[in-house]
Structure 1
Amino acid sequence: MSATKHAQQIKEDSQAYITTALFQLLETKDLGEITVTALVKRAGVSRMAFYRNFETTADVILKYFASKINQVFDDVINQVPTEEKLTEIDHFFETLSHELKLAVDRHYEYLIQQLFNDGMRRYYDQNQVWQQLPKTQQRYWIAFMSAGVYAIWREWLLNRESENLMAIHDIVGKFQSSTMLALKESN
């Protein structure tokens, strides 16, 4: 293994150890109560290893969820067929439901919502229909839709099994279409 590959493997291992340790600590503590010292001790890595990879404990959460949330939005942006997209979303919630529920209990949900808002912004920035609206309406509509869609997914996740995923997908689509239509008619 070349030195570069070896260094990359060490970096990836350190990130994995730190992430695993953080989620272990989150089982009993809020994110704000977890110090870097406690985290690196639990992970079995040095403070230097932590700071080579992250600036804060919140960065660990952001890195962990970013690629997963971005993949869901990539499917939406790339207009993956509905059945395939819903399978991926179901897999997302199935594999991450514990960590997402922990976000509520351990007060780091705002980080997930930040990533979600970024995904919504990225989606709407690529949507030609909505770009016909004035910039001010675009900005507030993204904020409105992002908060609303996030709240729907959150409610569904926390009360899972009460509705199927297709029903939630349809509700989100109807809200999006009707609010867009109302905005267009008001211009």
Structure 2
Amino acid sequence: MSPKELKDQKLTDIFKALMGLLKGQSFEEISITELAKRAGVSRAYYYKNFVTLEDIVSQYEMLRIISYLRQLPDGSRLTLQTLMTHYFQLVLDDQRDQLILISAGKEQVLIKTFHTVLVYLLKNKLIPLTDRTTDSYWGDYFSGAVINLSISWLKQGAVEPPEYMGKKVETFAN
């Protein structure tokens, strides 16, 4: 395993251990010792790579979204519907973990991560730039809207397919 693969695996392990602990405890009740033991990593690993438990969530979500970006179809300009369809597929794939984070009140971590990726997509012109998308508040608005929509969708059982949700976001955005 390459150093990058090992690093990603450890991040995944500690994230999954955190999700397991969150099923029965709040963030505040989780000890670093218990988390490290469950993840099979050292406490030193935790303290070297994270300041808070939320950092684990942020870094893992970023890893997942980078994976999402790599799965996007090639093309100089992707449509919002395509981007959102793939995003909702990612949410569906991670449904269990997403619902645990939502029940733990960590929606802001999801919004922040989504916003970071959105800014990247805009800066690299992978999302069409308009007067709306260049407004300094648009990214905050859009990130909150998409995450809130994904939360509602998950809580309702994710009945509609990701394609439907991608189209829905495009309709709302236009």
What TM-score, normalized to structure 1? 0.71
Larger helix proportion, structure 1 or 2?
Answer: 1
1:109 corresponds in structure 2 to: 107
Tell me the SS of whatever aligns to 1:139: coil
The Cα shift of 1:89 comes to 4.0
Higher Rg of the two aligned structures? 1
Structure 1 runs not aligned, ≥5 long: 178-187
The 2-side partners of 1:102 and 1:13 are apart by 20
The Cα shift of 1:96 comes to 0.6
Note the alpha carbon deviations across 1:146-186, whole angstroms, 9 max, x for none.
22222222211221344333332222112212xxxxxxxxx
Higher relative contact order (CA 8 A, sep 6+): 2
Match of 2:90 among 81, 85, 92: 92
Number of aligned residue pairs: give it.
Answer: 169
The 1-side partners of 2:158 and 2:128 are apart by 35
- Check whether the contact 2:27–2:104 (CA below 8 A) recurs between aligned residues: yes
The residue identity in structure 2 corresponding to 1:102 is: I
Structure 2 runs not aligned, ≥5 long: none
The residue identity in structure 2 corresponding to 1:163 is: E
The Cα shift of 1:45 comes to 3.3
The Cα shift of 1:103 comes to 0.7
The residue identity in structure 2 corresponding to 1:93 is: V
2:78 corresponds in structure 1 to: 79
- Sequence identity of aligned pairs in percent? 21
Q: Is 1:118 aligned to residue 103 of structure 2?
A: no
The Cα shift of 1:11 comes to 5.0
The residue identity in structure 2 corresponding to 1:140 is: Y
Q: Is 1:36 aligned to residue 35 of structure 2?
A: no
The 2-side partners of 1:21 and 1:72 are apart by 22
- Check whether the contact 2:81–2:166 (CA below 8 A) recurs between aligned residues: no
What TM-score, normalized to structure 2? 0.75
RMSD (CA atoms): 3.4
Distance 1:118 1:45, change over 3 A: closer
Note the alpha carbon deviations across 1:75-124, whole angstroms, 9 max, x for none.
388527967973x4454233210000001112222211110121222233
The residue identity in structure 1 corresponding to 2:150 is: W
1:184 corresponds in structure 2 to: none
